Amino acid sequence: MQLVFATNNRHKLDEVAAKVGDKIELLTLSDIGCTDDIEETGITFHENASIKSHYIFEKYKLNCFGDDSGLEIDALNGEPGVYSARYAGEHGNHAANIEKVLHNLSGQTNRKARFRTVISLLWNGKEHFFEGAVEGTIRTELSGTEGFGYDPIFEPEGYNVTFAEMSMEQKNSISHRAKAMEQLIAFLSTVD
């Protein structure tokens, strides 16, 4: 079974590939010859995930999925949320994004947060959504070198380490993306 993952994010690709193993032949955008930058113009995770999957399905007529994920911080009214990758302005500047979060949380005692992922799967032209979340807190300083994005400041509930201090296998057993992918894999096991 082949399935296109509508992303150019190498970290996401690695995480998802590790999760699906040999259950699904995961195709990347480069595998299908897509070099387009799919613009995320939605204001919700659902909208952005759907934009990506529809773009690929309509252009290439291949079963595919897109995801959108982000960090929601209670004390910041859910920010950075859908703007997580470009919170400090420049898309994908992890250091600047973390710095802005830590600055905005300065003096806050409520550091509760969650990572959320929404996946839009287009299977034979029909859209299906899968969602995953992991609760945690925002640390006051960075810790760890693994992962990407906000991982060095996010401590998942029930752990005393950040995502950036976990191996990919550990993170993949509890992460928001892993939970959404488990639902997608379970769904695909029921289709032909």
Architecture of domain 2-188: Alpha-Beta Complex (3.90)
| Span 169-176, average pLDDT | 93
Q: Locate 97 and state its tokens.
A: 């994004």
Report pLDDT for 110: 98
| Span 37-45, average pLDDT | 93
Task: State how far the Cα of 7 lies from the Cα of 58, in Å rounded to an integer.
Answer: 16
Amino acid at 5: F
Q: Which residue numbers are catalytic?
A: 68
- Name the residue ranges covered by the structural domains of the chain: 2-188
Residues 6+ apart with CB under 8 A from 88: 96, 97, 99, 100
Over the stretch 70-95, which tens digit does the pLDDT of each residue have? Answer: 999 999 999 999 999 999 998 889 99
What is the 8-class DSSP label of residue 80? B
Report pLDDT for 163: 97
Question: What percentage of the chain exceeds 90 in pLDDT?
Answer: 81
